[in-house]
Amino acid sequence: MRFSNDLIEWYHPNKRDLPWRDTRNPYHIWISEIILQQTRVNQGLGYYLRFIETFPTIEQLANAPLDAVLKVWQGLGYYTRARNIHQTAKFVVTELGGVMPNSYAELIKLRGIGDYTAAAIAAFAFDEPVAAIDGNVYRIYSRVFGIYAPIDKGDGKKMLRKIAHDELDKNQPATFNQAIMDLGGQVCLPKNPLCESCPVSSMCYAFRNREVDNLPAKAGKTKVRDRYFYYLLIRLGEFTYIRQRNAKDIWHSLFEFPLIERSTPLSIEEVFLTEEWLDICGSGKVEITYVSDEVKHLLSHQRLFTRFFVIEMSSSSYLLQKNFMKVPVNGMAHLSTPRLIERFLAAEPAVKYFTKGVDF
């Protein structure tokens, strides 16, 4: 619900004022959705107003000659859309008594109405709790939930559709669907999204992990993903700091040290200048006692390049206390950690610099 609450709270003062949003008329909503399929809102707006002015009702559209419909459509391109609209209007008038079906299941049977359009009409006109899922929605959920499965493949789509269904606010499907469309159209843009002004940035995986440029993934484009990990093994007396991984990502629920992650490599000096390093190390006395060589670790579709930094501190920073668990260094031996960390802790440098003086 948090996603929905933050999204809808943002939407109300920021929503685009569009004529098809002021109506529950399924015919008008249908026309707007078909026009907007291949057309930007600014360009589509004039066409929508002209179309509705020329054919205010579905009967008037059904009774008009095809040429008249194509004339109004002229310049929009993809004329099959206009032909399908005209044929479907005739079908609704002759076979359904001029009444548009009022459910997703029936709407999708109509010619020219696909999954997205059927869901949009059902939600906007009839408040049916269905998610209208287009490229914007796939992109947003892939970024927010850190889904790397390609969005142009069956598995990725299936996963994201399930998320879209779960996240949909079933009490206000029309508002929710419009809000997520606006987020995709105004903020979570394919390139250079406006994360700083995004209402869901605090829960967005891609934003928090600087992965915005790598998500959504497309098949064949990111077959093997390179990730650069910089682990901070902190010694504060007999203690260290850890956290449990809980994102939908590798190593779910395993324990790890504070991590700085990038999708491109950093030099050692650049690591010291990262925001995370400065937050974690704070302003107390810090001594870096060891920096490992880069360790390469292979997973099925990922290559991890990792460095371990052993750091001695005299006091812990506020962010360290707030975001990590303080545990005895020797307690690490009893926790589930990724193999990468387990191997490092067993290696000589860790014994010499990190676990020195404790019975590990």
Q: How far is the CB of 77 from ligand SF4 (least distance, A)?
A: 29
Q: How far is the CB of 165 from ligand SF4 (least distance, A)?
A: 18
Complex with ligand SF4: residue 144 or 304, whichever CB lies closer: 144
**Overall size of the chain counted in residues:** 360
Q: Is 33 a catalytic residue?
A: yes
Complex with ligand SF4: residue 207 or 309, whichever CB lies closer: 207
Complex with ligand SF4: residue 76 or 200, whichever CB lies closer: 200
The tokens for 330 are 């020797």
Q: How far is the CB of 163 from ligand SF4 (least distance, A)?
A: 13
Q: How far is the CB of 147 from ligand SF4 (least distance, A)?
A: 12
Complex with ligand SF4: residue 185 or 328, whichever CB lies closer: 185
Q: SS in 3 state form for 131-144?
A: CCCCHHHHHHHHHH
Binding site for ligand SF4 (CB under 6 A): 140, 143-144, 187-188, 193-195, 198, 200-201, 204, 206-207, 212
How far is residue 132 from each of residues 90, 99, 129, 155, measured CA to CA in Å?
25, 22, 10, 18
Complex with ligand SF4: residue 28 or 139, whichever CB lies closer: 139
User: By the 8 A CB rule, do 26 and 126 touch?
Assistant: yes
Complex with ligand SF4: residue 215 or 234, whichever CB lies closer: 215
Query: For tokens 């069956």, what's the residue?
Result: 154
The tokens for 253 are 């629920």
SS3 329: helix
The tokens for 226 are 């390179």
Round to whole Å and give the CA distance between 330 and 165: 44
Kindly give the pairing relationship between strand 325-328 and strand 286-291: unpaired
The tokens for 337 are 């950690």
How far is residue 5 from each of residues 180, 187, 302, measured CA to CA in Å?
12, 17, 34
Neighbours of 23 (CB within 10 A): 14
Residues 6+ apart with CB under 8 A from 130: 104, 118, 119, 122, 123, 168, 173
User: By the 8 A CB rule, do 29 and 20 touch?
Assistant: yes
Of the residues 33, 128, 167, 211, only one is catalytic, namely: 33
Q: Of 23, 25, 20, 16, nearest to 35 (Cα)?
A: 20
Q: How far is the CB of 188 from ligand SF4 (least distance, A)?
A: 3
Q: How far is the CB of 183 from ligand SF4 (least distance, A)?
A: 7
For the annotated catalytic residues, the residue numbers are 33
